[in-house]
Amino acid sequence: MIRSPFALYIHVPFCSRKCPYCDFNTYATLKVPEEEYLQALLADLRAYARDNRFEGRTISSIFWGGGTPSLLSPATLNAVHAEARTLFGVEVGAEVTLEANPADPSKEKYALTKAAGVNRVSFGVQSFDAKRLELLGRDHSPQNARDAVRLCVEAGIENVSVDLIFGVTDQTIEDLEGDLAAAAALPVTHISTYALTIEPGTPFFQRQERGLLSMPSDGLVAEMLDRIPEVLASQGFSRYEISNYARVGLVSRHNEAYWIGRDYLGIGAGAHSYVASYSGDRRVGGSRWSTLALPASYMKAAGTPSAVSWREELSRESLMFEFFYLGLRRMVGVSLNEFEKLFGDSAASPYRAVLRELSDEGFLRVENDWIQLTSAGIALADSVYERFVIEGGESVSSTR
């Protein structure tokens, strides 16, 4: 096993209300069981500090995701950070991100959040159009979002990201451009853009089934996908991953850890973890597991083996597939040298045919040692990955 640093993900499955498009593991909660949840997180951290997969390794980044982790008090964030430092050590200058709802912006709370060790905030803004926010069931206004970013920066957290959703009912290209311009006009360092997807089991899914929710055509969504990088590039944001844009040097280091296949530990209800296994310095397999999704069950079992709800063992071939599947999300692409270093096999070997076909068809570009998606490949990324699945013989799995 390689004793390199790992990324720590902390899931907080509580929201003030459930947005009608959301299928994340979150629950509308009037009162967050904060003390009980804190004790569960600490119990899990202590258990993993005695686990030889993580024992003696330092943390490279921390990400509080959800859910709405900003519902927790800065004191709770601080208590988890302090325990993580004591048990594992956190690298100097490590990125520590908190996902936050812009509904109740407060400079004082952002200052306390900074004092608790958070140095990056990601706001779930979604849109700067009041009607679209209402349709999405959001509990904040466009002005709340503007105030939240400004106050956060004034409080000293200058690395701020905003999430936007596009492809929403009746949205036009001009509406999208308005959202992008509004986001870029704020003092933010990073913008993530996600196409609205209608997930089974959500109120949006039911509305769509009953014909009560219209969605933009695939053609219009594809046009939006093309327009986003153009507009954001003109505002100084470079696309570094399919859905993510950043000012120079301010990419999300935690998310990069997922895309490059670094080990990560997930604590909190429904959080996923992943650890690769090695023979010498060659990656030969790994495992992935998740904690119990229901907060009450997780809080009861945290710190014990019963907190794990499922586990899967990953073959060397699965990891080779994921190397491409995840790595090609990054605009820089994947390095063939790195592949060979990790797996001791030329990338041309298991994927020789599919790489050549996709390159001939204009979906991939091979430059020196690197393979990247072309713009045609980005537009049809899911189909490109399917070709790896079918021709490489592996199955797709998620990192979250």
User: Would you tell me which residues interact with ligand SF4 (CB under 6 A)?
Assistant: 15, 18-19, 22, 24, 26, 66-68, 124
CA distance 14 to 299: 13
Query: Smallest distance, Å, CB 294 to ligand SF4?
Result: 16
Nearest residue to 239 via CA among 137, 143, 330, 108: 330
CB-nearer residue toward ligand SF4: 27 or 370? 27
CB-nearer residue toward ligand SF4: 15 or 153? 15
Query: Smallest distance, Å, CB 19 to ligand SF4?
Result: 3
2 with 57: CB under 8 angstroms?
no
Query: Smallest distance, Å, CB 124 to ligand SF4?
Result: 5
Distances (CA, A) of 87 to 53, 56, 59, 75: 14, 8, 10, 18
CB-nearer residue toward ligand SF4: 12 or 155? 12
Query: Smallest distance, Å, CB 231 to ligand SF4?
Result: 24
CA distance 85 to 43: 15
Sign of the four-CA dihedral 122, 190, 90, 260: positive
Q: Can you read off the two tokens belonging to residue 322?
A: 């994921």
Q: What is the DSSP letter of 128?
A: S
CB-nearer residue toward ligand SF4: 15 or 342? 15
CB-nearer residue toward ligand SF4: 166 or 324? 166
Q: Strands across the sheet with 6-12, in order?
A: 238-241, 244-246, 190-195, 159-166, 120-126, 90-100, 59-66, 6-12, 264-267, 272-279, 282-291, 308-315
CB-nearer residue toward ligand SF4: 126 or 277? 126
Query: Smallest distance, Å, CB 271 to ligand SF4?
Result: 14
Query: Smallest distance, Å, CB 20 to ligand SF4?
Result: 9
Residues 102-123: b if buried by 16+ CB within 10 A, e if exposed? bbebebebbbbbbebbbbbbbb
CB-nearer residue toward ligand SF4: 103 or 221? 103
CA distance 250 to 360: 34
Query: Smallest distance, Å, CB 103 to ligand SF4?
Result: 9
